[in-house]
Amino acid sequence: MSRKNPKTPRSRSRRRAEQFEIMPIRPDLLPAVWEHVAPHLSAAVDQSEGLLSLDDVAEAALTGEMLVWLVSQPKIGKITAAFTTRFIAYPAKSALAVDLVGGSELSRWHRMALSKITEYARSIGCDHLEGYGRAAWGRILKNDGWRTAYQAYYRDL
């Protein structure tokens, strides 16, 4: 007679999420990994309407103005994505902003990243999260309790 494993089996999506590790990169360690992270942030920087460059991101991360996060799959030695956050102090509240996100397999790791970002934002006293990006982000994030606050429009002078 075979015995069944008393442990509850993990769902397939949970197992897939566990393949990822999401961590902030300390400013002093950024130079060691920047060449692997920069390509992931490049597409997001290209969508910034020329507001910043990869060099600007690196400088802001080195000074602590931005925090670069790494999404990796340690078991296969792969960097999957990267994103940046920054603290914003408004007169009445404070926020953690997610500015740049780039990489692949977003559907597999974004909820884990949101959990880590939320935990970090609470630890530094933020009142809310905010993010910037293409309209597609609204469709992705609405299932996680995000709402569109405003649209940004640009006109060159």
> Check: CATH 3.10.20.30 for 12-142?
no
Spatial CA neighbour of 86 closest among 75, 72, 96, 100 = 96
- The per-residue pLDDT for range 122-154, each reduced to its tens digit, is 999 999 999 887 777 777 777 777 777 766 666
Match 């920054």 to its residue by tokens: 86
Residue 6 reports pLDDT greater than 60? no
DSSP-derived letter for residue 92 is S
Name the 3-class secondary structure at 61: helix
Domain boundaries defined on the chain: 12-142
Angle at the Cα of 81 from the Cα atoms of 79 and 82, rounded to 5 degrees: 110
Cβ neighbours, 10 Å, residue 12: 8
Three-state SS string across 25-41, please? ECHHHHHHHHHHHHHHH
Q: In whole angstroms, give the CA distance from residue 103 to residue 9.
A: 30
- The per-residue pLDDT for range 104-126, each reduced to its tens digit, is 998 899 999 999 999 999 999 99
- The per-residue pLDDT for range 8-38, each reduced to its tens digit, is 444 444 455 569 999 999 999 999 999 999 9
Amino acid letter, residue 1: M
